[in-house]
Amino acid sequence: MSHPSGPSNRALVRRRRAAALLLLAVAVAAVGWGLTSSSVTPSGSRVASSAASSPSTSVSTATTTTQAADPVTNLQAITPLVPGTTHVITEAAPSAVSKRQVALTFDDGFCPSCVKKIVDVLVQTGAHATFFPNGRYSASWEPQAARIKEMVANGQLTLGNHTFSHNTSTTIGPDAFGQDLQRNEDWIEKTFSLTGRPWFRPPYGDYNSGTLDKAGQLGYTKVVMWSGTVADSSLRTPKYILNAIKYWAKPGRIILMHGNYPPTAQVLPQILTMLKRMNLTPVTMSELSQGGTRSSSPSTGY
């Protein structure tokens, strides 16, 4: 094959080279634009890729997902532990009795459906109460954590500590008791984003000076006993529970109940109706204590 020669041929070569260079420049520019301005997702849709070229910028044409705002806005930050002197509480002071308030308190909670039903009733009715859960029954309490947090934030519920394992404090000794109490506090903080301090109820209502000293060191200065009970740590009939409420519910009383067996949860709406007919208002321990509290020998029956 012969090569072109002469001026005309050299001009033709130059024009062809210029055209080729122009086409090459256009192709390079097109490829560069495609890399810097967009990329193609596996589904074929284009998204801006400026984020890939700038680590400090994140851009996407995808629809932004708006996360639901946390409805609990009134919870206080968990305050640091402040040791103090314990006070054993069994009922409201006489000066507060005129308010005709009664505190319904629920311990333990080894029945998940019972705990759910109790929370359901409180949410539906707006009635006030106090919970003393054990972390060993987390399967009952953790599914209700969001609603419990909201009730605490709204002032409808007081949450206290009943130890993690529900052991008898005077049997295991102050040190083991203190570890179990703190373990439950850790669980409460993790589960509900709040503290159980200063409210503590000893398992089986059993305590001594060593228990009280250790509780005070851990910031649990209000040791809550009771002045009435439905004795439902064992299975009771609905009639038994309602009769016990009728007998024990008086102004200023603290009523011991449990989230352990279905009858208690089932008759809770009837209990609230009964209290209303007796002109008694269910309140939290926080509310009951505002008028002052006093200590006396607790009623028997756990």
Q: Is the pLDDT of residue 50 over 90?
A: no
- In whole angstroms, what separates CA 302 from the centre of its chain? 27
Segments making up each domain of the chain, as ranges? 7-53, 87-294
Distance (Å) of CA 40 to CA 36, 37, 56, 61, 64: 12, 11, 21, 13, 19
Rounded average pLDDT over 94-103: 86
The CATH topology of domain 87-294 is TIM Barrel (3.20.20)
Residue 148 pLDDT level (bands cut at 50, 70, 90) = very high
pLDDT tens per residue, range 252-282: 999 999 999 999 999 999 999 999 999 999 9
Q: Is the pLDDT of residue 126 over 60?
A: yes
Q: Is the pTM of this model over 0.85?
A: no
Contact 214, 63 (CB under 8 A): no
Distance (Å) of CA 87 to CA 123, 127, 189, 220, 295: 31, 26, 23, 9, 8
Helix (H, G, I), strand (E, B) or coil at 87: strand
Contact 179, 186 (CB under 8 A): no
Residue with tokens 């605490």: 152
Give the strand pairing for 157-159 and 129-133. Answer: parallel
Residue with tokens 């008694």: 280
Q: Is the pLDDT of residue 59 over 70?
A: no
Does residue 41 or residue 251 have the better pLDDT? Answer: 251
Q: Is the pLDDT of residue 203 over 50?
A: yes
Residue 33 pLDDT level (bands cut at 50, 70, 90) = very low
Q: Mean pLDDT over all residues of the chain?
A: 80
Phi, psi of 190 (to 5 degrees): -70, -40
